[in-house]
Structure 1
């Protein structure tokens, strides 16, 4: 999508690579290429969820950069050993993670930091210590920080103010038990995660819901915000939902003449 002066950019894709069919069903020019390369011709960003379970090697991240088309970017999810082990971690693990992920170089986008439902706002000191350690490991702020909470206790003014101190954004997601209001931080970007209409990573979003989302995304873009949108309903219809939302936003961004 061409960027108009003052217009934010949409980065859209799925959580991990989702493309229909196998390599032999790809268009002929892509059958000898990687799934990642083909995916990068369809969407301009990928949310890497595999890094949540195991930290890829630096050379793996570097190889990915050679397989994508120009302008593509990666969001990387922070390893669960840092966020999901009752916040019992060694700060050196954050530095180690980012040293590997920094091999993405110019294709870096966001660092997604997702906390489980058991982490509530009474642990805000420990949570924001993680953000502080991320910034210490990334003093040039090459990564945009997106924080996803899974408990309602986090959604109040003081938390948004603390996120502002790290130039971080609150992830807007749709898991019913911890659905987020659409209040924004002061960060220059918005981050959306679509976990499925029921929040169970299944099923498909209706055209009506996607049209509503497209209109809101375009409003944010007109306000100068970049928007990252990832579909995590990978057991359902993530690919088609992402493709349709991309098309809807593109239609809204086309010049209109009298």
Structure 2
């Protein structure tokens, strides 16, 4: 199994002094990031689908070192009224990443309000058909989807189940690693129970640092599927105050201790950023 580990986004100004040297220009963030992590989840595409030139720049700056997972625009997951032109742009714009060999799965992040209803099940099927031939990971936040028959159906239609780690607030899928294809996808949101519903921003909800024991628990689950999975993407969403930057080296360590190979930056690459 090939494991790719990274964070949700890389354009975090509060990483200045942590990963990025003070004074680093935002245009240079990705190049520095790519020396430290071999995966990144592109969040900007949720708000506006980048054009070909933007993706060309990402492929160039990452130097072939980092795999990109690309979040679907909100018209697909929240408004759920995409036009043909939305599909065309979403499918065609990341072509430079494919040509560079660094394109990972698309990810569709549905809101908690997206319950398991006949209408929503039909919508997922339509989405699977339109993205046929491309890896599409789906995060379903409402607990009504957390059922074996749902994952069996996703496997049948080529969709990847996103295994999430949420705070223990109830009503959402359990923190279990499930694989519905040759590729797995794990999103670690943190367990900030107090601010998940009440938090005023995503930064507040993801203000959480995992303990070594919590990460070791995930390492145990990951090791258990290593023989049946070709690739696994692990994305830390707890980027607030650099929590993810500190958690990733710990996860690498506990995975290596369990015999799961992961990429560790070379000494030269570690010196590229301040933290790693």
Normalising TM by the smaller chain, what interval?
0.7 to 0.9
Contact 1:220/1:226 (CA < 8 Å) preserved in 2? no
Find the aligned partners of 1:159 and 1:252 in 2 and give their Cα distance.
30
Partner of 2:103: 108
Question: For this pair of structures, how many residues does the alignment match?
Answer: 239
Find the aligned partners of 2:21 and 2:43 in 1 and give their Cα distance.
24
Partner of 2:156: 165
Aligned residue runs from structure 1 range 62-81, under 5 A: 62-81=56-75
Change over 3 Å in CA distance of 1:35–1:22 after alignment to 2: farther
Q: Does 1:150 align with 2:141?
A: yes
Contact 2:179/2:229 (CA < 8 Å) preserved in 1? no
Find the aligned partners of 1:249 and 1:24 in 2 and give their Cα distance.
22
Report the CA distance between 1:94 and its aligned residue.
Answer: 1.6
SS in 2 for 1:56: coil
Give unmatched runs, 5+ long, in structure 2: 197-204, 262-276
SS in 2 for 1:190: strand
TM-score, with length taken from structure 1: 0.83
TM-score, with length taken from structure 2: 0.78
Of 211, 219, 223, which residue of structure 1 is paired with 2:228?
223
Partner of 1:50: 44
Aligned residue runs from structure 1 range 1-258, under 5 A: 8-17=1-10, 20-21=15-16, 26=21, 34-85=28-79, 87-105=80-98, 106-122=101-117, 123-135=120-132, 141=133, 143-175=134-166, 176=169, 177-180=171-174, 182=176, 184-198=178-192, 200-236=205-241, 237-253=243-259
Report the CA distance between 1:74 and its aligned residue.
Answer: 0.3
Provide the alpha-carbon RMSD of the alignment.
2.6
Deviations 1:21-43 (A, max 9, x none): 2599649xx99982111111111
Find the aligned partners of 2:53 and 2:255 in 1 and give their Cα distance.
35
Contact 1:23/1:31 (CA < 8 Å) preserved in 2? no
Give unmatched runs, 5+ long, in structure 1: 1-7, 136-140
Find the aligned partners of 2:37 and 2:233 in 1 and give their Cα distance.
12
Contact 2:165/2:175 (CA < 8 Å) preserved in 1? no
Find the aligned partners of 1:213 and 1:202 in 2 and give their Cα distance.
19
Contact 2:145/2:173 (CA < 8 Å) preserved in 1? no
Contact 1:46/1:75 (CA < 8 Å) preserved in 2? yes
Find the aligned partners of 2:157 and 2:19 in 1 and give their Cα distance.
45
Find the aligned partners of 1:121 and 1:115 in 2 and give their Cα distance.
11
Report the CA distance between 1:169 and its aligned residue.
Answer: 1.6
